[in-house]
Amino acid sequence: MNRAYAALAAMICLLFASGAGADQPVAWQIDLQQPVTSIMHEIKWFNHYTLWFIVPITLFVLALLILVVVKFRASANPVPSRTSHNTTIEIVWTVGPVLILLFLAIPSFNLLNKQLTMPENPDVTVKATATQWQWNYEYEGGATPVAFDSYMLKEEDRAAAGKVDKAVYPRLLAVDNELVLPVNKTVRMLVTAAPTDVIHAFAMPAFGVKIDAVPGRLNETWFRAEKEGLYYGQCSELCGKDHAYMPIAIRVVTQERYDAWMAAAASDLPGAYKVLSASVSAPAPAVDVASK
């Protein structure tokens, strides 16, 4: 009986625990990735909202096409109508689309305004510079500068990096050095490309972020991750032969782990990642429910 209570308690803890998240593409995915920022929550809502317009319109147009094919084919309608004007139809097909576009435009403009309005006093500022075919990250404003390159993890380097589990570190998405950021903090991203390079794009689907990295131009965006975890994105602008091998990985951790990583990364980046990975993957302390 005690074991049954212990198992039940463990299930309840798992069910209601906030836990760490991790989002990446999955096989046969038909919906957007699970949102971990307020902007992405609204993007996902807007995506589902537009379906209530797109699906009926598509079915209506299909029905009209079938009606025209069946009713007005040459064998069934040898003498076609010569009607050229119908005031009612003209009003309906003008006012109807205007109303539909109005219902789509208002939430769309509101969402764009939230995306493009930079919050004041961000907690963290990171500059991401793209080159063929990797990302360079530089933390701005810190007492000790931290900057590093991030390449796609090669298969032969998995064991040495401690990233053998492909469920956590998927092929073609895992990187050697993840961008580490604190949870529930406003992050300002400065995005550009090397002056002699081509246009890239910094895209993180779970965050609702996609912004071009243009040589000689500094673009900016922001996000606030609500959940710890390891999240994946990719360069989303065709940038050359290795465009498909330019992933983005962001690890969101607690403020304490972030501060410890920053302090260690300034002098020992590999060591800082090892300590961080060990602390993130360490199992939670067991609770002896059966004895209570």
Quote the domain boundaries for residue 48.
Answer: 38-71+89-116
Q: If you search the block for the tokens 């810190």, which residue do you land on?
A: 142
The residues of the chain scoring below 50 in pLDDT are 1-19, 284-292
| Same domain assignment for residues 96 and 138 | no
What's the pLDDT at 46?
A: 95
Q: What is the DSSP letter of 126?
A: E
| Same domain assignment for residues 160 and 262 | yes
Is residue 131 one of the residues assigned to a domain?
yes
> Residue 167's closest CA among 286, 23, 58, 49?
23
Query: How many domains does the chain divide into?
Result: 2
What's the pLDDT at 21?
A: 55
Distance CA 177, CA 247 (A): 11
| Same domain assignment for residues 104 and 202 | no
What's the pLDDT at 290?
A: 46
What's the pLDDT at 16?
A: 36
Is residue 152 one of the residues assigned to a domain?
yes
Q: Per DSSP, which regions of the chain are E strands?
A: 21-23, 124-131, 134-140, 146-150, 179-182, 187-193, 200-204, 209-213, 219-223, 229-235, 247-253
Q: Who's near 98: CB < 8 A, 6+ residues apart?
A: none
Identify the CATH number of the domain in which residue 178 sits. Answer: 2.60.40.420
Is residue 59 one of the residues assigned to a domain?
yes
What's the pLDDT at 14?
A: 35
Is residue 8 one of the residues assigned to a domain?
no
Sign of the Cα torsion 7, 9, 11, 17 reads negative
Final residue of a structural domain among 81, 116, 151: 116
Is residue 165 one of the residues assigned to a domain?
yes
